[in-house]
C-alpha cells in the first residue's frame, strides 16, 4: 500500500461537530468524487424515493419530502479535498468559510427528485445541522442550483443536533421548523442514521422504513459511525 494511500483525512462526525478528528481514507474521498458507482447509487436512491411518492403522498392534508443537506443534497467533497491537500483537519472555522463560499454541488439525482416532488404537489424541507450563521449561504447555495425555492423550509441546527424536535415541528405545524399547519413527511432522505425518525418516534422501527419511506445516501467520508469502538453495529 502506498504511503499516499495511508495518508488520512480528518473529517467531522457530522458537518457541524468538532469531534476528536476521526479520519477517513483517501480511497473513500476518491470513491465518492470519481466513481461511477457512487453516482449510480445516489441516483438509484433518489429514483427509489421518487417512486415511493406515489404511495406515500396519499392521505389527508399537505405532505413533504424531508431532506438532510450535507452529503444528501449538497456534495461538500471539495472542502474535504482541500483539507486533505493541505494536510489539515476539519474544524468549524474552515467549514463555515466553505459554507460561505456557496460552492457545494448537487448530489446526483436530487435535482430530478425535487422537480418531481414539486410537480406532484409536495413541499420541501431541508433539515440540516449546519448552524444558523450559515443559513443565508446555505439557502443561496441551494438556490443557485435550483434546489431551494420560495416556500421551502430550511431548518438549521437549534440548541441540539437531535433532529427529532424539528421533525415534530414539521409534523405538528407548530414552531419555526414548520409550515404553520400539520404536514406529513412522505419520505425522508439522509446520509446519517440520525436523519431518520428513531424507533417509535413516528411509527415502528427505523430500519423497517428503509427503502419505503426512508432513503439512505452513502457517505464514506464522515459520520458518527467513525466513533464506534470495536465491532459495534448501530442496526439491530
Ligand atoms: Mg448529512
Q: Give 25-42 pLDDT, tens digit per residue.
A: 889 999 999 999 999 999
CA of 69 relative to ligand 1 center, distance in Å? 6
- Write out pLDDT tens, residues 118-133: 999 999 999 999 999 9
Environment of ion ligand 1 (residues, CB < 5 A):
68, 70-72, 191
Could you tell me if 74 and 106 are in contact, meaning their C-beta atoms sit under 8 angstroms apart? yes
Nearest to 149 by CA among 126, 127, 170: 126
Count of helices and strands (H, E) across the chain: 9, 9
CA of 183 relative to ligand 1 center, distance in Å? 22
Q: How many CB atoms lie within 10 A of CB 168?
A: 16
CA of 75 relative to ligand 1 center, distance in Å? 9
Nearest to 236 by CA among 215, 214, 216, 210: 210
Residue 235: the pLDDT is: 60
CA of 105 relative to ligand 1 center, distance in Å? 14
CA of 16 relative to ligand 1 center, distance in Å? 10
**Spatial CB neighbours of 91, under 8 Å, sequence gap ≥ 6:** 18
Could you tell me if 68 and 127 are in contact, meaning their C-beta atoms sit under 8 angstroms apart? yes
- Write out pLDDT tens, residues 107-118: 999 999 999 999
CA of 1 relative to ligand 1 center, distance in Å? 30
- Write out pLDDT tens, residues 52-91: 999 999 999 999 999 999 999 999 999 999 998 898 888 9
CA of 195 relative to ligand 1 center, distance in Å? 8
For residues 36 and 50, what is the distance between their CA atoms, to the nearest angstrom? 21
Domains of the chain: 3-218 (3.40.50.1000)
Could you tell me if 164 and 202 are in contact, meaning their C-beta atoms sit under 8 angstroms apart? no
| pTM reported for the whole predicted model | 0.89
CA of 181 relative to ligand 1 center, distance in Å? 26
CA of 2 relative to ligand 1 center, distance in Å? 30
Amino acid at each position: 500500500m502506498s504511503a499516499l494511500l495511508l495518508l488520512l483525512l480528518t473529517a467531522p462526525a457530522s458537518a457541524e461537530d468538532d469531534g476528536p478528528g476521526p479520519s477517513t481514507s483517501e480511497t473513500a474521498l476518491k470513491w465518492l468524487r470519481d466513481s461511477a458507482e457512487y453516482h449510480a447509487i445516489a441516483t438509484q436512491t433518489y429514483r427509489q424515493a421518487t417512486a415511493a411518492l406515489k404511495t406515500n403522498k396519499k392521505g389527508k392534508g399537505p405532505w413533504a419530502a424531508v431532506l438532510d443537506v450535507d452529503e444528501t443534497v449538497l456534495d461538500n467533497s471539495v472542502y474535504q479535498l482541500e483539507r486533505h491537500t493541505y494536510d489539515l483537519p476539519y474544524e468549524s472555522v474552515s467549514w463555515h468559510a466553505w459554507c460561505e463560499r456557496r460552492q457545494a454541488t448537487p448530489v446526483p439525482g436530487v435535482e430530478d427528485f425535487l422537480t418531481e416532488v414539486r410537480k406532484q404537489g409536495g413541499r420541501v424541507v431541508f433539515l440540516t445541522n449546519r448552524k444558523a450563521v450559515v443559513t443565508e449561504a446555505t439557502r443561496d447555495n441551494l438556490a443557485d442550483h435550483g434546489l431551494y425555492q420560495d416556500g421551502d423550509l430550511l431548518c438549521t441546527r437549534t440548541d441540539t443536533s437531535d433532529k427529532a424536535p424539528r421533525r415534530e415541528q414539521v409534523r405538528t405545524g407548530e414552531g419555526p421548523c414548520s409550515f404553520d399547519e400539520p404536514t406529513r413527511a412522505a419520505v425522508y432522505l439522509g446520509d446519517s442514521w440520525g436523519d431518520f425518525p428513531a424507533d417509535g418516534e413516528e411509527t415502528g422501527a427505523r430500519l423497517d422504513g428503509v427503502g419505503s419511506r426512508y432513503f439512505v445516501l452513502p457517505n464514506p467520508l464522515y459520520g458518527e459511525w467513525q466513533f464506534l469502538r470495536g465491532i459495534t453495529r448501530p442496526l439491530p
